[in-house]
Structure 1
Amino acid sequence: MLQGAHITLRARHETDVPVLQAELYDDVATRSRADSRPWRPIPPGSAQSPYVVAGVSDEAACFSVVETASGELAGEALLWGIDPHNRTAHLGIALRPGHRGRGFATDVLRVLFHYGFTVLGLNRLQLETLADNAPMVRAATAAGFTTEGTLRRSAWACGEFADQVVLGLLAEEWRG
């Protein structure tokens, strides 16, 4: 387990999957804005749920986010596209609606920085989000990310094209 100021990142438990499926994936509008793949209905209990972790992977590290004080499942976090040759990875987080707006996202990102830079020995971490996702941009910049650019009209989200912001952080910039 990895500890932050208010959250703990731990391995995904089977009991986490239905909660994440119901509150994150089945919210079609939010999920469609958070993932570049089109939303498709997935029945409860399906092995096709994006929250099912089939096993250890060299390309991704999936965590469940737990609020440390209450022990309650707060969401998910992951490093994906882990490239050991170039020593880079992408970050993603999704918090359950009741855990948003409480400063957890910045804490989750900082713990992921520690994992990526210290445990995996990466040199660069990157995050992409829709330009109008002000809470994520705020959390990312508060955690230490630098806005590196905008990909104009690069994401199809809820029936229209939207800009994406690319944020990056180098190991030498991290204040671990």
Structure 2
Amino acid sequence: MLRGTKIGLRARHESDVPVLHAELYDDVATRSRADSRPWRPVSPGTEASPFAVTEPDDDAAPFAVVALDNDELAGAAGLWGIDTHNRIAHLGLSLRPGFRGRGLAVDIVEVLCAYGFTVRGLHRLQLETLADNTAMIRAASRAGFVQEGRLRRAAWVNGEFVDEVIFGLLAEDWNPGAHERP
């Protein structure tokens, strides 16, 4: 398990899938804000579930997020679109409703950065989020990510176009644990 100060990242277990699917995928309004693809009904026990346990893959590193204080499943996170030639990847996370607002996101981002930069040897991590997702923007900024751009009205979300923002962090600019300092 990869450990932060509040969370751990581990491989997903089959027992995680129904919980993550019910709380993170079947919440259509929230899922529509978290994924650029349109929501569609998917059964949790199928390979089509975004939380299905799969074989290791060079293109993605999906994790289950667990709270270290009680080992409870807190959400999902990972690197995706891993490009080993250019040494870049995208970063994403999603927390179960009961775990939001606890300050876990910045710890998750930090642990994903440690994994991407020190374990996978990546050069750049990038994340995209909706411009009104203040929690993700705050977590990315606290972890050292820099806003690099804004895509005006680029995302179709719940019946309207909204702006997306792009954040990036280079390995040489990464400062592990900086968010914990006074």
Per the TM superposition, whether the score is higher than 0.5 is: yes
1:70 — aligned with what? 70
CA distance in 1, matches of 2:164, 2:44: 31
2:32 — aligned with what? 32
Q: Give matches, 1:41-80, under 5 Å.
A: 41-80=41-80
Q: Secondary structure at the match of 2:165?
A: strand
Q: TM-score, normalised by structure 1?
A: 0.98
Q: Give matches, 1:1-176, under 5 Å.
A: 1-176=1-176
Q: Secondary structure at the match of 1:165?
A: strand
Q: Secondary structure at the match of 1:137?
A: helix
Range with bigger deviation, 114-123 or 43-52:
43-52
- Shift of residue 72, structure 1, vs aligned partner: 0.3
CA deviation profile, 1:72-102 (whole Å, cap 9, x unmatched): 0000001000001100000000000000111
- Shift of residue 19, structure 1, vs aligned partner: 0.2
Q: Secondary structure at the match of 1:132?
A: coil
Quick one: structure 1 residues 44 and 86, their matched pair in 2 at CA, closer, same or farther if it must change by over 3 Å?
Answer: closer
Q: TM-score, normalised by structure 2?
A: 0.95
Identity of counterpart residues, as a percentage? 66
Q: Where does structure 2 lack aligned partners over 5 or more consecutive residues?
A: 177-182
Q: Where does structure 1 lack aligned partners over 5 or more consecutive residues?
A: none
- Shift of residue 31, structure 1, vs aligned partner: 0.2
CA distance in 1, matches of 2:103, 2:122: 25
The alignment covers a number of residue pairs equal to: 176
Q: Secondary structure at the match of 1:12?
A: coil
CA deviation profile, 1:157-176 (whole Å, cap 9, x unmatched): 10111100000000000013
Q: Which amino acid aligns with 2:109?
A: L
- Shift of residue 42, structure 1, vs aligned partner: 1.1
CA distance in 2, matches of 1:39, 1:118: 34
- Shift of residue 45, structure 1, vs aligned partner: 2.0
CA distance in 2, matches of 1:170, 1:47: 33
- Shift of residue 43, structure 1, vs aligned partner: 2.3
- Shift of residue 143, structure 1, vs aligned partner: 1.1
Q: Which amino acid aligns with 1:120?
A: R
